[in-house]
Amino acid sequence: MDRLDFDKSIIELEKKIEELKKMTESKAIDFSDEILKLEIKAEKMRKEIYEKLTPWQRQQVARHMQRPRTLDYVGRIFEDFTPLSGDRLFKDDPAIIGGPAMFEGRPVMIIGTQKGKDTKDSIHRNFGMPNPEGYRKALRLVNMAAKFGWPVISFIDTAGAFPGLGAEERGQAEAIAKNLRDFSTAETQIIIVVHGEGGSGGAIGIGVGDKVLMLENAVYSVISPEGCAAILWKDSSKASNAADVIKMTAHDLLELGVIDEIIKEPSGGAHRNYDKTAAEIKAALKRNLAEIKPLELHDLLERRYQKFRNMGKFLEITAEAAGAGKAG
């Protein structure tokens, strides 16, 4: 069980509160006043500690074993979800789930990477790291959604696309590239929710859409902090330094113009309150869908194109500036 260092004091207090609650119930000793006091204290601790998390600590929250998985949200946000299976080419990839569901009385298509809930499930899901068939399955579902005019909601929580032998043999790069291209022109609304780890190509492979929303403690990066540290300092134990450098938090990404909105998490992180986190995501989805729903298809697609077209920062040297010997 992975305990977070910065979480320990909160967990201890939460345990104490639980004990008092049990005693109050069973032994008829009334600790109500003490419980109330301690709950206020715990809430204050959760707020203060989680507000000040470093990027590396957020990465750990994002990877927490108890953090809600895509299917935890699907069950709480949508009704009548029907999981569909397979890419119709090779096989099914349990690391990517998807299928139609009802949202506010209307059909939508859900796709998302799915990490496991326990060791057995994690192995079954390949720890949420998709193979090419996962990306191809996602594209099949997006195309189906476009055919029937259903909005797509894509949930991202993956350390990355699986770097395996079979994945390379079956064209991991081709599968991701095709998704990038075809999501960009898919004729329906697409909303992306990065709720855990957004691991590089494995994330963007189902990450092109009209709106990109991100949970407060989620991370999204071109490389893991460990990978970055290994390249930079030949030392993957310096991952916490690399996490600062690589700019991977929701706040960084909002500033860089890569995401549209940060979704608040309950104090103490999403793993403390699945229902509340799901309710926040649901509200954000409702709002964002309502915003893009009225757009004509042509405008929607042009906006989606421009959104990614405008990403990136560089300096353009104009002829005059070059002549004057300085950058413009």
Judged by CB under 8 A, how many residues of this single chain contact another protein? 56
CA 237: distance to chain centroid? 24
**Which one of 19, 237, 293, 305 is in contact with another protein (CB under 8 A)?**
305
The Cα–Cα gap between 319 and 237 comes to: 46
**Which one of 18, 19, 168, 299 is in contact with another protein (CB under 8 A)?**
168
In the complex with another protein, which residue's Cβ is closer, 70 or 131? 131
In the complex with another protein, which residue's Cβ is closer, 140 or 170? 170
Give me the least distance between CB of 233 and another protein, in Å please: 9
The Cα–Cα gap between 60 and 285 comes to: 25
User: Of residues 171-200, which lie at the interface with another protein (CB under 8 A)?
Assistant: 171-174, 176-178, 180-182, 184-185, 200
Give me the least distance between CB of 242 and another protein, in Å please: 9
CA 4: distance to chain centroid? 20
Is 327 among the residues that bind another protein (CB under 8 A)?
yes
Determine how β-strand 261-263 pairs with β-strand 106-113: unpaired
Give me the least distance between CB of 221 and another protein, in Å please: 6
User: Of residues 227-286, which lie at the interface with another protein (CB under 8 A)?
Assistant: 228, 231-232, 245-248, 252-253, 256, 258
The Cα–Cα gap between 120 and 318 comes to: 58
Contact (Cβ atoms closer than 8 angstroms) between residue 155 and residue 140:
no
Is 220 among the residues that bind another protein (CB under 8 A)?
yes
Contact (Cβ atoms closer than 8 angstroms) between residue 315 and residue 326:
no
The Cα–Cα gap between 203 and 168 comes to: 17
**Which one of 15, 88, 163, 324 is in contact with another protein (CB under 8 A)?**
163
**Radius of gyration for the chain, computed over Cα atoms and rounded to the nearest angstrom:** 22
Is 167 among the residues that bind another protein (CB under 8 A)?
yes
Is 224 among the residues that bind another protein (CB under 8 A)?
no
Contact (Cβ atoms closer than 8 angstroms) between residue 67 and residue 11:
no
User: Of residues 63-122, which lie at the interface with another protein (CB under 8 A)?
Assistant: none
Is 324 among the residues that bind another protein (CB under 8 A)?
no
Q: Residue 217: which of 283, 284, 269, 271 has the closest Cα?
A: 269
DSSP state of 5: G
**Which one of 170, 238, 251, 276 is in contact with another protein (CB under 8 A)?**
170
In the complex with another protein, which residue's Cβ is closer, 144 or 254? 254
Give me the least distance between CB of 15 and another protein, in Å please: 38
Give me the least distance between CB of 304 and another protein, in Å please: 8
Is 323 among the residues that bind another protein (CB under 8 A)?
no
Give me the least distance between CB of 308 and another protein, in Å please: 4
Contact (Cβ atoms closer than 8 angstroms) between residue 213 and residue 288:
yes
In the complex with another protein, which residue's Cβ is closer, 283 or 311? 311
For 195, phi then psi, to 5°, come to -115, -10
CA 14 → CA 4, 17, 25, 27, distances in Å?
A: 14, 5, 17, 20
In the complex with another protein, which residue's Cβ is closer, 42 or 176? 176
b/e 268-303 (16+ beta carbons within 10 angstroms → b):
bbbbbbbeebbebbbebbeebbeebeeeeeeebbee
The Cα–Cα gap between 301 and 177 comes to: 18
In the complex with another protein, which residue's Cβ is closer, 173 or 283? 173
Residue numbers of the site for another protein (CB under 8 A)?
161-165, 167-174, 176-178, 180-182, 184-185, 200-201, 203-205, 207-208, 220-223, 228, 231-232, 245-248, 252-253, 256, 258, 304-305, 308-309, 311-317, 322, 327
